[in-house]
Amino acid sequence: MLKIDSKKFNFSFFLSDRKKVGSLEEGAIKYGGATQFDDAIYSNYGNSDFIRVDNNRNNISIFIPSTINVNQKINNFYYVNYSYNYIKNLYSNNNIKYYNTKGSWFSEELKKVVIENITIITLELNTITEADIYNFIQLANWIKQEMQQEGVSIAINTALAII
């Protein structure tokens, strides 16, 4: 298993591992955020500074909010479509999946838990390189600016980085 040092990327936050939590609210209060997946709700936490890359199956994802300016609900179709095409143009493979789910986070600005619909776009790769991570950082920075967000999340296998 390969490891990439997360410090190379100047993430706002980096959380190397994840664990199941009971609810989106609990995950936001205890760990700063949570994401609902098909099988459970997970929160990420810091255990090391390293991104683990598997030998033959890896996922890198971007989380697209359904709000602008922190908590104003919008239809995120434009941003999902832009992001999907951005990834497809870079990688031109059919290993891109996306789905709608819910996420939570604790807003420092509002001092409360925000639960919102999110769309996660995931690219499956044999390996993940620093260049792949930089591609997703660039996309996350665009989303952060365009959607006026405090932060945008990318997931790299079990790790979560906030841009």
Model's pTM, two decimal places? 0.90
In whole angstroms, what is the distance from residue 97 CA to residue 143 CA?
18
Tokens 């997360």, residue?
Answer: 6
Is position 50 within any domain?
Answer: yes
pLDDT at 92: 78
Is position 70 within any domain?
Answer: yes
**The pair of three-digit structure tokens given for residue 65, joined into one six-digit string:** 């909010």
Domain that holds residue 93: 11-162
Question: Which amino acid belongs to residue 145?
Answer: Q
Give, for all 163 residues of the chain, the pLDDT tens digit.
789 999 999 999 899 999 999 999 999 999 989 999 878 999 999 989 999 999 889 999 999 999 888 678 999 999 999 999 999 999 977 799 999 999 998 888 888 998 889 999 999 999 999 999 999 999 999 999 999 988 899 999 999 999 9
CA 10 to each of CA 14, 140, 149, 162: distance values in angstroms, whole numbers, following the listed order: 9, 13, 18, 10
Is position 148 within any domain?
Answer: yes
Tokens 């044999």, residue?
Answer: 126
Is position 5 within any domain?
Answer: no
Is position 1 within any domain?
Answer: no
Is position 131 within any domain?
Answer: yes
Residue 99 neighbours by CB distance under 10 Å: 11
Give SS3 for 80: helix
Q: How far apart are the first and last CA of the chain?
A: 25
**The pair of three-digit structure tokens given for residue 81, joined into one six-digit string:** 């479509």
pLDDT at 157: 94
CA–CA–CA angle 145, 33, 4 (5° rounding) = 75
In whole angstroms, what is the distance from residue 47 CA to residue 31 CA?
13
In whole angstroms, what is the distance from residue 156 CA to residue 130 CA?
11
Is position 135 within any domain?
Answer: yes
Is position 57 within any domain?
Answer: yes
- Give the chain's domain count: 1
In whole angstroms, what is the distance from residue 43 CA to residue 24 CA?
9
Q: Are 162 and 13 in contact (CB under 8 A)?
A: yes
Tokens 């031109």, residue?
Answer: 92
